[in-house]
Every structure is written in structure tokens, then in C-alpha cells.
Amino acid sequence: MKELELKYGCNPNQKPSKIFMQGEKELPITVLNGKPGYINFLDAFNSWQLVKELKAALGLPAAASFKHVSPAGAAVGLPLSDTLKKIYWVEDLELSPLACAYARARGADRMSSFGDWIALSDVCDVPTAKLIAREVSDGIIAPGYEPEALEILKGKRKGGYNVVQIDEKYTPAPVEHKDVFGITFEQGRNELKIDESSLENIVTENKTLSDDAKRDLVIALITLKYTQSNSVCYAKDGQTIGVGAGQQSRIHCTRLAGNKADIWHLRQHPKVLALDFIDTIARPNRDNAIDVYISDEYEDVIGDDVWQNTFKTRPEPLTREEKKAWLAGVNDVSLGSDAFFPFDDNIERARRSGVSAIVQPGGSIRDDIVIDCCNKHGIAMAFTGIRLFHH
């Protein structure tokens, strides 16, 4: 197949629309089910690159959950603790390593992942398909599908779920093009290889990076490589836990991603784990209720009529003091930035979310101030020397 016509572009008024290869080449993808759209394919091709690089760098199956051409979550296939199984709603499922990777990617920011595009580094197996089958999602890209897994996915969305298979051996041309306002841009592809060697230039007094920190910093960097800039990523336990994408100010990225990371940790608070939902409430509604419960507006937002339709018994509020105390115990979080930190306010905000290891390009005229701030808090920081802007 040399080209694929699409229903429309980014918006219904943008017609005609299609994807194709320059020079009459064959497309490296096959649509096995559904009719993916323009934005679906943007998500598919960005997310596929991310998971392919994660697996190459860390040797583990990888998954990503994409929304609007940025990852809501990305992860590798490490086993889940009982707590993570509970907050990801997968306690009742058999989980393969690949299913663990997607449960983590989806669980990083379940609010943002609603209606996501999924990427898997490996052939989709039955446990992963069963997990995907009960989540609200637009589509998936993977290098292949077990026959039973494909049949499970074909049953989603009344048979219209988008399933795309990509040739894992496909290598794009070294130069890429993009049209904006009728003008063609050309640049070399970002072929930067990211692995633990990217972390060798540690510029702080603390020179120690644990193996877990190295893994999580690599995850953060590869995630940032495919996140709309400016972007900052918090990672822990083999997955992203907060991605701040597309902000004009870096401190806003750091705050946005940090707030998401805090919510991920607060979902594990005993009071949240003990929430007693009515049996008929769906997982997305539970996610929404938890998000409100964790927020400072819980007592104002949840009126009697709302909680009676959500919880079997009205939960006691999670107070600001309790949240502050819980987050004070968070540590060993890793953080990556796609460009240098211009001010030390980013470090101060990151520290509040338990960050103990940072990777960033460096190169600011205020690098010394940022390094001093890390030294003050005992944070280890590596400079890569390479920016990771993505637009």
C-alpha cells in the first residue's frame, strides 16, 4: 500500500487528507481493523518510536499512552506491587510483562489517558489485549498481534477499534520534511541514541546514581524526545509519573508535571485506597472521583447528591495536612528536562515532589546557580549537552 486516504485532517473541515510515502514507496504499516485518522497516525508514529527506543535502551518490553501527540505515560514491563495493581484497576487480571508496561503507562495519568492511543514495543499478547479491552482507547500500534489478542481488540468500539501493525524493521530516511503555510521545512531526523552513557557527566557534588535512578532517567529522556516542547518528565519505578508538555515557561512545565507526580503518589494514600465505591460505577468515573477527592476542592465539589451516586459511604476528606505529610515521605523520584533550567526555582519545585536525580542538557548562563541549588539539597544532576526539543 503506497498511500492511505483519511476521512479528514486535524479537523473535519481539513480535506482532503491522506498519508503516503515519498517516491512511491510502500507504507510500513497495515491497518488490521478500524479507520485511523490523521491525529491517530501522528500519535501512532510518535509513540511507536518512543517504545521502540525504550526497549532498545533498557531491554524490557515498553508501552506508551499518547494523547494529542504527547505521551500521557510511558513505561517498561516491571512487575506491579499490590498497591499499583489496585490504583491501576488490574487486581483481577493476569499480567504479562507487556501488560504490566501498559498498565503502568496508562496508570501514570489516567485522567489524561482517557481515549488514548497505545503503542507496544512487542507483539500484543492476550493479557495485554484483555487489559486494553476494558479501557477507553482510540487505537493501538504494535509490531504484531497474537491471533486471540487481535480478535479481542477487534471487539472494541462495536468492531471499530483502530488496530495498526507496523513493520519493526522499517527505517525512515535520514532527512525529514514538514509543510507549514505552504512552505517546506527540512531537517535531519533526531537520531540521538539515549542510554545510560547519556548520564556520565554528573556535575553536582553528589555523584551517585542508583541503577533504578539511571533506568528512570533514561525513561524520562526518551519520553521527552517525543513530547511537545517545552517539556519536563518525572519518573519512578520504571515509568513516567508526571509529564508536563507544551508549556511556554519551563517552571510551568515543572509545576504541571510535578502536580501530576504528586497525584500519582496521593492515589496510593491509605484513605484513597480505602474509598468504597458503589459496585456499578465505571473505572473512568472512579478516576474522576479520585481526582476530585485528592483536590483541595473536595468538600465544596462533592455534594450529598454526588457522593451518594459514587461512594457506598461518604469518605472523610483527605486534608491538606495529610497530603503534605504523605508527600513529605516521597523520595527517589527522577526528573528529566528537554532543555536547560534557566533558574533554580525548577529545582526547588522538583525537590518538593521527592526528586533526588536530575538529567538536563545544561548550557545556561545560570548553570552554576542551578548546580548550587542541587548541592544544597543533595540532588545528583547530569548534563547531557544535547537539547531534546520536539515540535
Residue 65's SS3 state is strand
The three three-digit cell numbers of residue 205, written as one number: 557534588
- Please report the sign of the dihedral spanned by the C-alpha atoms of residue 143, residue 144, residue 150, residue 154: positive
The values of phi and psi at residue 70, to 5°, are -145, 150
68 labelled catalytic? yes
Catalytic residue among 55, 67, 156, 390: 67
230 labelled catalytic? yes
The three three-digit cell numbers of residue 288, written as one number: 474522576
What is the DSSP track for 334-374?
A: EEEESS--SSTHHHHHHHHTTEEEEEE----TTHHHHHHHH
Counting Cα atoms < 13 Å in the Cβ hemisphere of 46 gives 24
* DSSP letter assigned to residue 195: S
Catalytic residue among 162, 230, 323, 346: 230
Helix (H) or strand (E) holding 149: helix 147-154
377 labelled catalytic? no
285 labelled catalytic? no
**Nearest-angstrom CA–CA distance, 190 and 112:** 27
380-383 sheet: strands from edge to edge: 29-33, 162-166, 137-142, 116-120, 62-67, 70-76, 239-245, 231-236, 333-337, 355-360, 380-383
Question: At residue 103, what is the residue type?
Answer: A
Catalytic positions, please? 67-68, 230, 391
